[in-house]
Structure 1
Amino acid sequence: MKIKLLSLLILVGCIGAQAQVQLHRAVTLMGSRFDITIVAVDSAKANQSISEVVSEIDRIERLISDWRPDSQISEVNKNAGVKPVKVDREVFELTQRSLYFSNLTKGAFDISYAAMDKIWRFDGSMKQMPSDEEIKQSVANVGYQNVVLDSANCTIFLRKVGMKIGFGATGKGYAADKGRALMQAKGVKAGIVNASGDMSTWGSQLNGKPWLIGLTNPFAEEENISVLKLNTEAVVTSGSYEKFVMFGGKRYAHIINPVTGYPASGLISATVVGPSAEQANGFSTSIMVLGKDAGIDLMKQFPAYAYLLITDQVEVIKSPNFKFKVKKRLK
């Protein structure tokens, strides 16, 4: 399910006696589109702030990208089964938090998913199901239990040759959170860092109203199923309705269970709202793999986060603390 910022314009206005502007810029970072919006005293300040956010996200990408050969995570992956690799404390702690999710969900979320063989294709080229043996082998090098952290030496070691770790699930959310934190530390009162749908917001729009975030109806993309009114919060959606294949009348979507190697089923989308985009993405990804019941049980432990789930039977489920109106009929 897509998340979109509603009514985003380049605006100029006045708050009290002080002129304000609201500017937006779209850039490609971490292999994805980032949309950065800043409310500032003038255009020069807004553009400078956007550039500072871009630099911060680029810095993070250089540390954690598993497709950049010179990143610290690439170095960790190259030395799988060979030796521990010393990393920056920031990278170590990000890995530590991802392993927390892996343990919490018993592998439904797994930082070592990056080693999974890409035997499922959702580009129209798949003509038959992979065999059970192919699926089993596809996850042979996946296993968060084999990621060893040494806090004293700040090292990461992957026990098995062929293992890899990656931050495809939480890296963009982390970058969005860091961009927001940087701006808040610099006194920028309001803005949004939108990392391809992983959104960190703070403050309010130029007109003083909350940021309006539309959640697309997965069964009718021209409609919103809900409009979120956010100030300093984050929102992330994981969804499976756009990329899938059909075999034997059954739908297999692109979110793969790293424990079994089979596509997750039961849910079309999971939206999570709370303080951190990194954490919200960890939750939304985990829920999609765990399914409705186990996902709800997981979220009961984290009351700072609210959720909206849509099942493949078009059932809409929201947590008691999901405070926004939701469209009753989706199709």
Structure 2
Amino acid sequence: MNKLRAATTLVFCFGIAGALLCRFLFGTPVETEETPDPNAAAAAEALAAEVAAAAAKVVPSGRTGPIRREVILMGSSFVFVVDAPASEAIRAIDAATKRLRTLEAEVSSWRPESDVTRLAGRAGIEPLAVGKDTFALLKLAHEIHAETDGAFDVTIGPVWDLWPFRNPDAALPTDAQVAEALKFVDASKIELDEARQTAYLPMPGMKVNLGAIGKGYAARIAVETMVTLGIKRAAVSSGGDIFLLGRKASGPWVVAIDHPRWSARSIERFVAGDVAVATSGDSQRYFLRGNKIFGHILDPTTGAPADECQSVTVITEDPARADAYATAIFVKGPKQGMQWVEQHEGVEALIVDALGLVTRSSGWSKAAPSAPSQSAPSVSQALKPSPKRVAHDRSTPLSELGQPAGRAVDEDSGELLGVPAGSFRSCDEKTLRELAAFRIDRTEVTNAQYQRFLDATKDNPREFSHPDEPPGKDRTPRYWKEYRSPLFLSTPAANLAEFDENTFRHPDHPVVGVDWWDAYAFARWAGKRLPTHHEHEKAARGDDGRIWPWGDLWDRKKVNGGGEKWGERDGSLYAAPAVSFESGVSVHGCLNIVGNVAEWTQEGFVAGGSSNSNPSQLRCCAAKLRRPGFRSFDIGFRCAADPAPPKPDVSKPEAKKPEPAKPEPAKPDATKPEPKQSAEKSPPPK
């Protein structure tokens, strides 16, 4: 599967005062880097030798401290960090790199002479003698396939090739194509002869791809190679896999699990040593169709991308098993995956489900004790768990989300409605959730209101930006200008859906094609903030747990939803005016809080569904987590605010304040001369 994962990164502690934390940005005494041509192994090895020789000249042989090198192998970036005298560290990294190039030659899926390629060529013909690494990987893959009830399967390749991961613009495979390819998927059919060290694929068309286990295996043999040379403290990172050896002389290894939807944000930071950590996810290799993410991890049962998780992180002793287990748990999904983890001793997992809900296995906190509360320079703030949750949390991914202090609410940016404090039942929870009082816009932010924001900030576009916003960002909504390619416009398909000045730019329609950064900046400019996911849900459903804002009985006439099929019936192909569908008003007075356009929330969810959504997606609690830079024709936002400060009661006369006691005149100091009196009189007070 050429598996690229949601990142698990290593944070390294060192420094004079207890330390600087970085994500493999160590500021180490020497950093050497290889950038080999993956098609030229000999040239790469020569380059490695040159780099190592240069490093040996620069670093005094007796100097200690972590030495870091990055190498491109097996389609991924491998990072070695060795805490040893420089000459010993460089020698160990050289040996490990050479060993991994031998592994790559055997198991590469793109080299014509590799065991993997030749094995596919001999499928259904005869067994093939393979190298020791290939055989060891196939044997381990065979075992894990059985352990995971087929959720991990290295023969998924024929199905994976059908999906457009290499060419995102290609068509999706048909059900018939997937069904045909699934005939070749079953790792239990791989025949292994340990005495002869041969492997056999019994059906022509079968093939294996060891990417989902090979990088963890590579980390293992790299560390084993360095141990034979006397190394006692090292770390190897390969894609989403980390293998940690020992404990650094200057402090613990600190591992950070990156958020699958928010780059440079951590879900968890923990100390570790002599352990393997692997993360599988859909954020590094995927394609989009509309609003749906198609991740590269396929379910061997259905042949379709597994979509119940965003990422899975596994901790266990063996990096190869951690690598494969993370994939299998991702395929199984949050519920079955966590059940599997709890049944297997020595395996712990952290799962982020499709909605961003984080679940940890029962032994996670013991296996992954929290790191010191320090932040890396590239991280604004680690994600904070909700105080209401024990085993689960939804985390706010960005700092500085509150209402801007000292800035008055812009009255023309939308009418605010009050929502009282109290409990309500969220549909994804069994217990009541308490919320403080807040205010929320009656309608979605319109194009006219957004235009006022652009005009007001044109001289200083970043005045209200979030500190993590990408530099040079353009706040113009995507659909305010022609967004379709000239090639598409030259085809008859261009006439199938209208696009004119009023489609996405009508002044009283909700602004769409804006991302989270845009919504955040507008809200702060308006003296407001974005609502939290739970505030949005409470404003939609009230306190009684209703399914839709108007009640529990579906009524398509009360909402702009259903896509084009129902758009023809409700008169709105896309978004309707912000003031519309008034019969579907929520109990707190909000219009179109479900349907019309989905709305950004503080945490990065888009809530409430849109004109393109079905009834299930239009429930009060419906939400999807999106990347902050995501834009769509059916995503907009509304703002929220804290309760208004109480107004002074002008009906009662203000109590007269007692006059302060007059100070006694100071006695003159006989030791000091009296000041000269000015001839000018002080002006009368104004």
- Please point out which of 158, 162, 177 is paired with 1:119: 162
Which residue does the alignment assign to 2:363? 321
CA 1:25–1:311: 2 relative to 1, 3 Å: same
Distance 1:121 1:224 in 2: 30
**5 Å matches for 1:42-61?**
43-61=86-104
Going by fraction, where is strand more abundant, 1 or 2?
1
Alignment of 1:224 with 2:266, yes or no, is yes
Tell me if the contact between 1:9 and 1:23 (Cα under 8 Å) persists in the aligned partners. no
Secondary structure at the counterpart of residue 201 of structure 1:
strand
Residue 80 in 1 paired to residue 123 in 2? Answer: yes
Question: Which of residues 54, 59, 82 in structure 2 aligns to 1:38?
Answer: 82
Q: Structure 1, residues 148-199: CA drift from partner, whole Å, max 9, x if none?
A: 1122322111100111112110101101011111212222111111112211
**Aligned partner of 2:350 among 291, 308, 313:** 308
Counterpart position of 1:10: 28
Equivalent pairs, count: 324
| Structure-2 separation of matches of 1:73 and 1:176 | 19
- 1:34/1:111 Cα in 2 relative to 1: closer, same or farther (>3 Å)? same
Matched, 1:296 2:314: no
Distance (whole Å) between structure 2 residues aligned to residue 228 and residue 93 of structure 1:
31
Alignment match, 2:71:
27
Pick the aligned partner of 1:165 from 208, 218, 227.
208
CA contact (8 A) 2:123 2:206 kept: yes
- Aligned match for 2:180, one of 120, 127, 137: 137
> Equivalents in 2 of 1:111, 1:131: separation in Å?
22
Which residue of the other structure, out of 122, 128, 145, is the alignment partner of 1:102? 145
* Selected match of 1:146 from 189, 193, 200: 189
Which residue matches 1:210?
A: 252
Q: Determine the structure 2 residue equivalent to 1:238.
A: 280
Quick check: 2:240–2:280 contact (8 Å CA) kept in 1?
A: no
> In 2, are the aligned partners of 1:20 and 1:206 still within 8 Å (CA)?
no
Q: Deviations over 1:204-246 (max 9, x none)?
A: 2341x11112111223223211112111111110011344445
- In 2, Cα distance between the equivalents of 1:241 and 1:157? 34
Indicate if the aligned counterparts of 1:118 and 1:138 stay in contact, CA closer than 8 A. Answer: no
Identity of aligned residues (%): 27
Larger mean Cα displacement after TM superposition, 266-275 or 64-73: 64-73
Structure 2 residue 106 is the aligned partner of structure 1 residue 63: yes
SS across alignment from 2:142: helix
SS at match of 1:256: coil
User: Shift in Å at residue 247 of structure 1?
Assistant: 4.8
Give 3-state SS (helix, strand or coil) of 1:169's partner.
helix
Structure 2: runs of 5+ lacking an equivalent: 1-5, 12-21, 31-61, 371-382, 386-394, 397-602, 604-686
Structure 1 segments unaligned to the other structure (5+ residues)? 13-17
Q: Which whole-Å CA distance do the structure 1 matches of 2:354 and 2:288 have between them?
A: 14
Cα distance in 1, alignment partners of residues 236 and 208 from structure 2:
25
**Deviations 1:34-67 (CA, angstroms, capped at 9, x unpaired):** 11111112x2221111111101111111122222
Between the two structures, name the one with larger relative contact order (CA 8 Å, sep ≥ 6): 1
Give, as a single letter, the amino acid of the residue that structure 1 aligns with 2:204: V
Aligned partner of 1:195 in structure 2 is 238
Letter in structure 1 aligned against 2:131: D
Structure 1 counterpart SS, 2:364: coil
Counterparts of 2:191 and 2:168 in 1: how far apart (Å)?
37
Partner of 2:218: 175
Separation (CA, whole Å) in 1 of partners of 2:127 and 2:272: 42
- Write the distance in 1 (CA, Å) between the matches of 2:359 and 2:254: 21
Q: Equivalent residue for 1:15?
A: none
1:279 to 317, 321, 324: 321
TM-score (norm: length of structure 2): 0.45
CA offsets 1:134-153 (integer angstroms, 9 cap, x no match): 22123332221321112232
**Amino acid corresponding to residue 268 of structure 2 in structure 1:** S
Alignment partners' CA distance in 2, 1:320 and 1:11: 40
Letter in 2 for 1:10: T
Deviation at 1:203, TM superposition (A): 1.7
Residues 125 and 220 from structure 1, CA distance in 2 versus in 1: closer, same or farther, beyond 3 angstroms?
A: closer
Amino acid at match of 1:142: V
The code of the aligned residue for 1:320 comes to S
CA distance in structure 2 between the aligned counterparts of 1:31 and 1:99, rounded to whole angstroms: 23
Does the 8 Å contact 1:21/1:46 carry over to 2? no
Deviation at 1:249? 5.6
Distance 1:77 1:121, change over 3 A: same
| Superposition TM-score, scaled by structure 1 size | 0.90
Greater C-alpha Rg: 2
- The DSSP-based 3-state class of the residue aligned with 2:300 is coil
Determine the C-alpha separation between the residues in 2 that align with 1:186 and 1:309: 37
RMSD: 2.2
Measure, in 2, the Cα distance between the counterparts of 1:80 and 1:91.
16
Q: Is the 8 A contact 1:310 1:317 kept in 2?
A: yes
Q: Which residue is equivalent to 2:454?
A: none
CA distance in 1, matches of 2:74, 2:7: 19
Q: Kindly tell me: are residues 327 and 185 of structure 1, through their superposed partners in 2, closer, same or farther at Cα, counting changes over 3 Å?
A: farther
Deviation at 1:127, TM superposition (A): 6.9
Q: Secondary structure at the match of 2:230?
A: coil
